[in-house]
Amino acid sequence: MLRDKNLIPLSHQHQHVLALCVRLDRALEAGEVEVEAWRAEIAQLFEHEVGVHFAAEENELFPVAEKFSEMQPLIQELLGEHAVLRALFARAAARDLQQKDLGLFVETLAHHVRKEERQLFEGLQTLMTPAELTKVGAALQEALKATGKACAMPNPATRLRPKS
């Protein structure tokens, strides 16, 4: 299903975190992991984008979704995943996320994003009227303003390297 324009800002942010997941997963597969560099990038991503993204979903999108009984179990799952992910991001910021934890981080974050895209967004686009989507889209735009237009670039230790 084509993504409704009112949910596209969240989808763009999802693309950012999925790109991080791909780069980190490839680094883990290649055995080329500078843990401190990854911790720093993960912490920076949360500070500049993901923290605001989670708040926008929790304050603007999830309450709207919970009005539909069929969406309530999914929202509870997503809130639980936000808590797990916040803990992983906090561990990165505290320099406590270890190399053995990075695979779990990638798996958890990628699974969460895909669940939101495939289940939450698709479901809301089916259940909500265009006017309702426009209203939630405006609220999301306002809530996401704090992320700004900055794009964090990976440092040399976390850049995607071509496969050999």
> Is pLDDT above 90 for 116?
yes
Q: Over the stretch 125-138, which tens digit does the pLDDT of each residue have?
A: 999 999 999 999 99
Domain ranges for the chain: 8-145
Instruction: Transcribe the chain into DSSP letters.
Output: -PPPTTTHHHHHHHHHHHHHHHHHHHHHHHT---HHHHHHHHHHHIIIIIHHHHHHIIIIIHHHHTTSGGGHHHHHHHHHHHHHHHHHHHHHHTT---HHHHHHHHHHHHHHHHHIIIIIIHHHHHHS-HHHHHHHHHHHHHHHGGG-S--PPPPTTTSPPPP-
CATH of 8-145, one of 3.30.450, 3.90.1570, 1.20.120, 1.10.760: 1.20.120
Query: Structure pTM?
Result: 0.88
State pLDDT tens for residues 21-80: 999 999 999 998 999 999 999 999 999 999 999 999 999 999 999 999 999 999 999 999
